[in-house]
Homo-oligomer: A and B are copies of this chain.
């Protein structure tokens, strides 16, 4: 079996931890697997380098930032390779360049365009453990680039795809994906398996573990992704394609998103194209609109409600104001004291009554639902912010996720 293992900054945050990672990698190699390891910079290193750069400039050149920041992962990969060799496991450290990772030239947030795995494959064929510096590649001109936040995960997934690895294991300080945030519902259970699409919908659950970019890439490349803890032996959660999940649960998890604000547009002129004008203007202002609800109001006018991330609220207000000023909208109001609760599960596709159960669960707790939106595998409900945790617990129980 060929495994790509990725260890994040916390997992390689000290020499002792790197030693532990080496032991862990050696054990997997010993079990007969071929191994590629992708490592991040030691925790704190990248921030230190950013502080250094900011000492000189608040807006440093992106090319230089990439040269600067890419050094952290190089150090970790060299150290881990040295540790493995010393333990008697032949290993070879590779920069992103050496590993064949080619990106576009969007410095500090480059996208991987292709991977030439031949150097890695050659060393694997010789029985070596390949240790790759994550987070980095080179553009077509050969300049070093970095992949932005979560970049080492992307490196690992892309490498797993290029090498057609059987598994890509992301080691972090949490041991997998839970049915909901255990800090809200202590009865939350770790999921053994979850589909890519569910994982993407549960972003707010997984964000601390895995960014959507990595899940999307894993889906595209059909990479079996596992998130697990580098500090325990527990099995983690496998994120894979739906077909690989035999028993599809009705509901896999409940997510809570408190970073939402509601914008209500009252008395919107009911002329063709007005909605498109408003939402195009919001898009142009880089406002990320999530749920949208429209309903008839009085005298040929409509009301439109939508949600945006709280961080985008001011930008959204500015856009809306222009429509109020020119009379397209009669009035607007804003509510930041809301949150979004989402029920996610691939089983919904083939089952009816899933939404009804959610509504009754909240009704039983006297929680009023302000907005509802549904997709094939998700039901999202906006409720008052203060009811967020209660709603999560009620839904968790209603779908028997603690069983």
List A residues at the B interface (Cβ < 8 Å).
Answer: 15, 18-19, 22, 49, 52-53, 55-57, 60-61, 63-65, 67-68, 70-72, 74-75, 77-79, 81-83, 85-86, 92-93, 95, 97-98, 142-144
Contacts and interface: CB of A to CB of B under 8 A. Distances in A.
A93 B78 contact: no
A24 to B, nearest CB: 15
8 contacts: A15-B52, A22-B56, A60-B85, A63-B93, A64-B92, A65-B82, A68-B75, A70-B74
Given A64-B82, A68-B82, 19 more contacts: A15-B52, A49-B75, A53-B78, A53-B82, A56-B86, A57-B82, A57-B83, A57-B86, A60-B86, A61-B85, A64-B79, A67-B74, A67-B93, A68-B78, A71-B71, A71-B72, A97-B142, A98-B142, A98-B143
Given A61-B81, A95-B144, A144-B95, A19 B71 contact: no
Most B CB atoms within 10 A — which of A15, A18, A93, A143? A93
Contacts of A82: 53, 56-57, 60-61, 64-65, 68
Copies of this chain assembled into the complex: 2
Contacts of A52: 15, 75, 79
A243 to B, nearest CB: 41
A81 B64 contact: yes
Contacts of A61: 81-82, 85
The 3 closest A-B pairs by CB, nearest first: A68-B78, A71-B71, A57-B86
Contacts of A78: 53, 64-65, 67-68
A35 to B, nearest CB: 17
A31 to B, nearest CB: 22
Contact of A93 (B15, B64, B85, B86): B64
Nearest to A59: B86
A75 B92 CA distance: 23
A92 to B, nearest CB: 7
A403 to B, nearest CB: 46
Contacts of A55: 15
Nearest to A55: B15
A349 B391 CA distance: 96
A1 to B, nearest CB: 26
A22 B60 CA distance: 15
Nearest to A57: B86
A144 B65 CA distance: 20
B93 A79 contact: no
Contacts of A75: 49, 52, 68, 71
A90 to B, nearest CB: 9
Nearest to A71: B71
B63 A79 contact: no
Nearest to A75: B71
A71 B85 CA distance: 20
Given A67-B74, A71-B71, A85-B61, A79 B95 contact: no
Nearest to A78: B68
A61 B63 CA distance: 30
Contacts of A144: 95
Nearest to A92: B63
A73 to B, nearest CB: 9
Nearest to A82: B60
B68 A74 contact: yes
Contacts of A98: 142-143
